């Protein structure tokens, strides 16, 4: 069984209407009972007074003559009325006739005392006639009368209250439910908006729709801004990561990324039992270009060298710039040592060709050192050191040549 801690507006309105009807009906019942009880008391007093007036002559004769038989007949006649619970007739002599319906006299607290006068001398008091009202009978009749009236009133109250409940439901609850359903269908950040109510639209519902749409616009703006910020952060992450692992001038991998790829290449070569090579390359005659033509021409020359190297290499190979005019090439999956030597000489020949930089035609050379895996080193540090030694050997041999590391 599901318990909803938040009852619907429909149910709340229903209980308000039902509760108000019950409260009003209960209060009305109490008021009606009190009024009916008081009216019945007065009516019974009047009725008993009329009865006592009817038997007054017989009671006066009985009191005057002291006739007990007549006195008892008078009492019996009074006791026939359902509202009478006790009666007695007595005089100043020994006459006393009485009858009670209940042994407990507290049930009949209301008493009416009638003075009897002589039938021959209207001024002479000959006795008294006392009658007590049956309160329980009065209450029972009051309950019946007030209950009927209260029931009729509650029914009469429920009808207009039910009409009010239906009206409020149509004017308030239905538009709110419509707006709620629309809100549930709107995706966060979308351009969808709440449609105004087509029927039973009130000023308050219209204001609620307008305020909700304003809030949706604000949410959309915040989400759009957040998405833009998130995209910008992602772009910055990519940019920073690229800057951290690539040379800012040529866009080639830097030393950090080169070392990572070299380690990965050695692990793969070890698993696959492959031959690989590492080429260290240093440009010849680059410093005079930088000194005589300026850094702008020197930077353009480095970019051109990088582009030429990338065009020559396979997609699986890596070309990196590790220093001013120093480049490194990783060659994967070679068939033999001669293949590495052939690729190195192709690079030597390519870089010996003239470079057109602006209005300048530049001729430079390069010195290349080659180290093979696993002959010249089985780890990245050893292989790099031996390729660098081979490169300096090429420089020492007159530059513009290729040297294979020699053990």
Check residue 343 and give its pLDDT.
Answer: 95
- Residues 226-267 have pLDDT tens digits of 888 888 878 878 777 767 788 989 999 999 999 999 999 999
Indicate whether this model's pTM tops 0.75: no
Specify the DSSP class assigned to residue 108.
-
Pick the most confident of 113-127, 202-216, 374-388. Answer: 374-388
What's the 3-state SS for the chain?
Answer: CCCCCCCCHHHHHHHHHHHHHHHHHHHHHHHHHHHHHHHHHHHHHHHHHHHHHHCHHHHHHHHHHCCHHHHHHHHHHHHCCCCEEEEEEECCCCCEEEEECCCCHHHCCCEEEEEEECCCCCCCEEEEEEEEECHHHHHHHHHHHHHHHHHHHHHHHHHHHHHHHHHHHHHHHHHHHHHHHHHHHCCCCCCCCCCCCCCCCCHHHHHHHHHHHHHHHHHHHHHHHHHHHHHHHHHHHHHHHHHHHECCCCCCECHHHHHHHHHHHHHHHHHHCCEEEEEEEEEECHHHHHHHHCHHHHHHHHHHHHHHHHHHCCCCCEEEECCCCEEEEEEEEECCHHHHHHHHHHHHHHHHCCEEECCEEECCEEEEEEEEECCCCCCHHHHHHHHHHHHHHHHHCCCCCEEECCC
Superfamily covering domain 255-404: Reverse transcriptase/Diguanylate cyclase domain (3.30.70.270)
Check residue 199 and give its pLDDT.
Answer: 60
Dihedral sign computed on CA atoms, order 60, 65, 66, 67:
negative
Best CATH choice for the domain 9-138 from the list 1.10.3470, 3.30.450, 2.60.40, 2.40.160: 3.30.450
| The two three-digit tokens of residue 114, written as one number | 């009638």
Position 10 pLDDT exceeds 70 = no
CB 367 within 8 A of CB 391: yes
In this prediction, residues 321-338 reach a mean pLDDT of 93
For residues 105 and 402, which has the higher predicted lDDT (pLDDT)?
A: 402
CA distance 353 to 347: 10
- Residues 78-135 have pLDDT tens digits of 888 877 888 888 887 766 777 777 767 677 777 888 888 887 777 888 888 888 877 7
Check residue 212 and give its pLDDT.
Answer: 74
Local confidence band at 188 (pLDDT 50, 70, 90 cut-offs) = low
Local confidence band at 6 (pLDDT 50, 70, 90 cut-offs) = low
Position 22 pLDDT exceeds 50 = yes
Local confidence band at 300 (pLDDT 50, 70, 90 cut-offs) = very high
In this prediction, residues 191-219 reach a mean pLDDT of 70
Position 144 pLDDT exceeds 80 = no
Strand ranges for 134-254 from DSSP E: none
What are the boundaries of each domain within the chain? 9-138, 194-245, 255-404
Fold match between domain 9-138 and domain 255-404: no
Neighbours of 96 (CB within 10 A): 12
Percent above pLDDT 70 for the chain? 85
In this prediction, residues 214-225 reach a mean pLDDT of 77
What mean pLDDT is reported for the chain?
82
For residues 6 and 228, which has the higher predicted lDDT (pLDDT)?
A: 228
- Residues 52-72 have pLDDT tens digits of 787 888 878 888 888 888 888
For residues 351 and 73, which has the higher predicted lDDT (pLDDT)?
A: 351
Local confidence band at 404 (pLDDT 50, 70, 90 cut-offs) = very high
């Amino acid at each position: 069984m599901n318990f909803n801690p938040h009852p619907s507006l429909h149910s709340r309105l229903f209980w308000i209407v039902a509760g108000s009807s019950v409260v009003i009906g209960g209060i009305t019942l109490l008021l009606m009972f009190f009024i009916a009880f008081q009216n019945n008391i007065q009516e019974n007093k009047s009725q008993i007074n009329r009865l006592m007036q009817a038997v007054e002559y017989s009671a006066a004769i009985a009191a005057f003559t002291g006739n007990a038989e007549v006195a008892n007949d008078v009492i019996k006649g009074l006791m026939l009325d359902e509202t009478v619970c006790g009666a007695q007739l007595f005089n100043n002599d020994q006459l006393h006739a009485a009858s009670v319906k209940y042994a407990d006299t507290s049930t009949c607290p209301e008493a009416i005392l009638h003075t009897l006068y002589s039938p021959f001398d209207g001024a002479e008091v000959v006795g008294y006639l006392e009658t007590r009202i049956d309160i329980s009978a009065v209450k029972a009749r009051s309950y019946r009368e007030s209950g009927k009236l209260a029931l009729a009133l509650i029914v009469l109250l429920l009808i207009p209250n039910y009409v009010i409940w239906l009206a409020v439901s149509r004017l308030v609850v239905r538009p709110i439910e419509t707006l709620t359903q629309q809100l549930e269908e709107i995706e966060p950040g979308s351009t969808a908006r709440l449609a105004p109510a087509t029927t039973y639209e009130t000023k308050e519902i219209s204001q609620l729709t307008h305020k909700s749409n304003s809030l949706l616009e604000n949410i959309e703006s915040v989400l759009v801004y957040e998405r833009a910020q998130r995209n910008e952060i992602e772009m910055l992450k990519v940019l920073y990561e690229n800057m951290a692992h690539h040379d800012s001038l040529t866009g080639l991998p830097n030393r950090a990324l080169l070392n990572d790829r070299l380690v990965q290449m050695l692990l793969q070569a070890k698993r696959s039992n492959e031959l690989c090579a590492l080429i260290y390359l240093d440009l010849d005659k680059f410093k005079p270009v930088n000194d005589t033509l300026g850094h702008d021409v020197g930077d353009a020359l480095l970019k051109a060298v990088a582009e030429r190297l990338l065009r020559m290499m396979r997609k699986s190979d890596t070309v990196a710039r590790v220093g001013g005019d120093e480049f490194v090439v990783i060659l994967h999956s070679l068939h033999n040592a001669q293949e590495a030597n052939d690729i190195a000489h192709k690079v030597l020949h390519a870089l010996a060709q003239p470079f057109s930089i602006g209005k300048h035609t530049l001729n430079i050379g390069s010195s290349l050192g080659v180290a093979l895996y696993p002959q010249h080193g089985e780890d990245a540090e050893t292989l790099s050191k031996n390729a660098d030694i081979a490169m300096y050997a090429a420089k020492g041999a007159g530059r513009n040549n290729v040297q294979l590391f020699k053990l």
